[in-house]
Chains A and B, each alone.
Chain A
Amino acid sequence: MTNRRRNQAQLTHERRKLPSALQVVPRTVASAAEQSVSNIRPTLLRYIDLPPAIALLVGAIIIALVCFIYLTQVTAVTNANYTLQALQDEHTRLLRQQGDLQLQIGRAQSLATIEMSATTKLRMVPIGNNYQYLPVATGPLTSVPPLPTPALPGDDAGDAAP
């Protein structure tokens, strides 16, 4: 017997047992609410009252769906893990590259490298004793006469000049 038939039979049986007055007017509001709820359940069940084969199929589909969602999530987590790992590897690689570049800068700034470049590429020679210190007067340059200010374009004097 299906749920729908069972419900209908139970309903008929109860109607027979109850006095007619009570069938028309509910005793209390609460009992009326209970009755309305109990009436809904069979209605809902009526909709999912499927033949066994269909029910099995639906069950299988639901299980498959859950499995699919689970696998999707696991795959997503695994992918995220590998993405994170790749990013960490990239971070490590960049740190190594930074270290290597620091070393390259260190080698390039090394005086041995600079001297080699200066003497071989730029053909510079050591200064040796070929230099001289020049005495520089300290204090304000009072003895130097003021320099003439050059005329700017648009000045009257400039315009008048030939």
Chain B
Amino acid sequence: MAQNTLNQKARQASRPRRVEARRLWVVLSLFIAFSVYNGYTVFSLQILQFSSLSAKAESRIKWKDTIPPKRGLIYDTRGQLLAGNTTAEDVYVDKTRSDEAELTRIANLLAPPLKQDAGELFTRLKEAPGTNIKVASRIDDASTAAIRDLIKNNASLLTYVVTLDPQPLRQYPAAGPDPSLGLAASVLGFTDHENQGHYGVEEFYNSKLAGEAGWILAEHDAYGRPLVLQQPEMQPAKDGSDIVLTIDSALQYMVEKELAASIKEFKAQSGFIIVQDPSTGGILAMANLPTFDPNKFSSYTDYSIFKNPMVNDVIEPGSTMKILTYSSSLDAGAITPQTTFYSNGYVVRYGTTIWNATRTAYGQESMLYGLGRSDNIASIFAAEQLGETDFYNYIKQFGVGQRTGVDLAGEVSGLISWPGDDGYTPINLDTNSFGQGLAATPIQMITAVSAVANGGILLKPHVLKEVQQDGKTVETFQTQQVRRVLKPETASTLADMLAYGVENKLVARLAQVPGYHVSVKTGTAQLAADGGYSAAGSFASAMGWGPTGDAKFTLYIGLMNPQTSQWGENTASVVWGRLAKQILMYMKVQPTVPIPTPTP
């Protein structure tokens, strides 16, 4: 009995132990299962998914940053900086953690310094795809300071949400006589925010100026700063080359000032002036109005303002063309300055009556006077004496109607019908002889006339003087002789014929410069319109060089539609004289004839 009782007790005592053991096994099993699960998870993460996860992790800390190159500077021939670089901020808003109410507050805060409408800014922020939204590009210093203050004063809302990113910005420090316009804007062009040059030198020499962007592939810290000691892969940026132009900013300023004054004085619609060195072909100054401020290129809506009309547009040159007609005929021996003919004031060719500008019958007239009086009939006579084939050969030799190859973007070739072309009729010889019925760019015309001024050699016009890298000259533009067009004696004779016209009170008399012999020809062309000519308006011009026997500059002035007088004789010629006087003084050219003492 007692033994039974003891056995029962022992059984009772052993039951909980079995239960505990069972629990232990359950817990152990769970533990093992959990460990197996954990082990599998670790195995999966570390082994199976290693490649994809490490790539994912790397992509969050390692990326490629672009290293922008420094764009090359542009200097004038005197070392004056014409285009330089600075930085300006782009403004970004990271909307990842901002709800609609916060975005509204952000838009309201940012709108005033960014000069934007708060409602529009909010809409842009809300609707723009992505998380980090650019809300303004290249803001000015005042706006940058205002936004920095905003971030400081609204730290809880704007810190890490509104960020400023410094970006390179092209600046053109030299202002023109009108401070709201840039100096030599149409020569320089401008550079956009993507370091891409547009128009002028900026576009033509973009490959030299822009340089090559570099990159750095590195891990980044929490602030996005590259950890450069982790041996990043990188390709350093290659900075752009600096370029020095033949443009002389002093002359350019003088020219722009005179152009603005003359447009105002003669109530012209627009105008241009080019100054070229006839011994090298280098452009010393090139100005047109209206023009633009390259620092504010994005504010213009009419892109035609960016065009350089002296390279990108064509004009009918009018009587300045007679310089080429007479020199061709003289060179071929078809005429001499003393060759005479009878001028009725008009001629009839192929059923069409062609008049001279004043409809005056000069009677018996020499070529010297025909040129001096700018008689169209004399010009027709000179061209006809030369003959169609030779005339057009010479015109072609002078480069009229063909691209000069000037190093400015977008040069056009011109419009001229050559014998044998579909649009050519025999009367073209007569009209072309005095600059009608053909269209050329002003750069073509001045380059051709410079060939007469320098003794008969056509030179390639250019604005590049040299290319520099790290302050050292690596490339120098060599004067490029295209061809000899005239014999030196022909050029000399024509220079004297033109000077005779200036000094003997003929058409270009107002271009006279006291103390100097200058060779100038004026021009007045009708404006082409709808396949014919406009009844109103004219293109008034003056072209010439000085001093006559030793040309230091060729100067071409064009005024579109002057209101005070339609004639180049009374408008452009006056400007030519005034400007030539300043240029000769600036170039320190000694007077060759006595200068009358000015009356006090």
Contact = CB atoms under 8 A, between A and B. Distances in A.
Interface string A78-117: 0011001100100000011001101111110111110100
B532 interface: no
B175 interface: yes
A112 B174 contact: yes
Interface residues of B, number: 33
B401 interface: no
B115 to A, nearest CB: 23
B253 A112 contact: yes
B340 interface: no
Contacts of B86: 96, 99-100, 103
A47 interface: no
Contacts, number: 75
A25 B524 CA distance: 131
Interface stretch (A15-23, A60-68, A127-135): A127-135
A124 interface: no
A118 to B, nearest CB: 13
B261 to A, nearest CB: 12
B11 interface: no
A51 to B, nearest CB: 33
Interface in B68-91: 70, 73, 80-82, 84-87
Contact of A84 (B174, B229, B250, B253): B229
A130 B599 CA distance: 9
B84 A132 contact: no
B253 A130 contact: no
Contact of B81 (A95, A106, A129, A132): A106
Contacts of A107: 173-175
Interface class of chain A by DSSP: helix
A85 to B, nearest CB: 6
Interface string B218-235: 000000011111100000
B515 interface: yes
Contacts of A84: 228-229
A77 interface: yes
Contacts of B70: 95
Interface in B224-273: 225-230, 249-250, 253
Interface stretch (B16-24, B176-184, B405-413, B435-443): B176-184
B85 to A, nearest CB: 5
B173 A81 contact: no
Nearest to A129: B598
Contact of B171 (A85, A103, A109, A115): A103
B591 interface: yes
B225 to A, nearest CB: 6
Contacts of B228: 81, 84-85, 88
B595 A133 contact: yes
A132 B598 contact: yes
B464 to A, nearest CB: 19
A102 B253 contact: no
Given A106-B80, A130-B598, A112 B229 contact: no
A106 B225 contact: no
Interface in A125-144: 129-133
B597 interface: yes
- Most interface-central of A105, A109, A129 (chain B CB within 10 A): A109
B173 A132 contact: no
A105 B84 CA distance: 11
A103 B84 contact: yes
Contacts of A99: 84-87
Contact of B175 (A105, A110, A129): A110
A109 B81 contact: yes
B84 A85 contact: no
Contacts of B80: 106, 109-110
A81 B85 CA distance: 29
Nearest to B73: A102
A102 B84 contact: yes
Given A77-B229, A85-B228, A103 B176 contact: no
Contacts of A130: 598
Contacts of B250: 111
Which of B227, B229, B597 has the largest count of A CB atoms less than 10 A from its CB?
Answer: B229
Contacts of A112: 174-177, 179, 183, 253
A102 B207 CA distance: 23
Contacts of B229: 77, 80-81, 84
> Which one of A99, A105, A111 has the highest number of Cβ atoms from chain B below 10 Å of its Cβ?
A111
Contacts of B249: 110-111
Residue from the set A88, A110, A113, A129 with the largest chain B CB neighbour count within 10 Å: A110
Given A111-B250, A112-B177, A132-B598, 9 more contacts: A77-B229, A80-B229, A84-B229, A102-B81, A106-B82, A111-B183, A112-B176, A130-B598, A133-B590
29 contacts: A81-B227, A81-B228, A84-B229, A85-B228, A96-B166, A100-B86, A102-B73, A103-B173, A104-B173, A106-B80, A106-B174, A107-B173, A107-B175, A109-B80, A109-B81, A109-B174, A110-B175, A110-B183, A110-B249, A111-B174, A111-B249, A112-B179, A112-B183, A113-B175, A115-B253, A129-B598, A130-B598, A132-B598, A133-B591
Chain A to chain B: the 8 pairs with minimum beta-carbon distance, closest first:
A106-B173, A106-B81, A111-B253, A112-B175, A110-B174, A81-B229, A107-B173, A103-B84
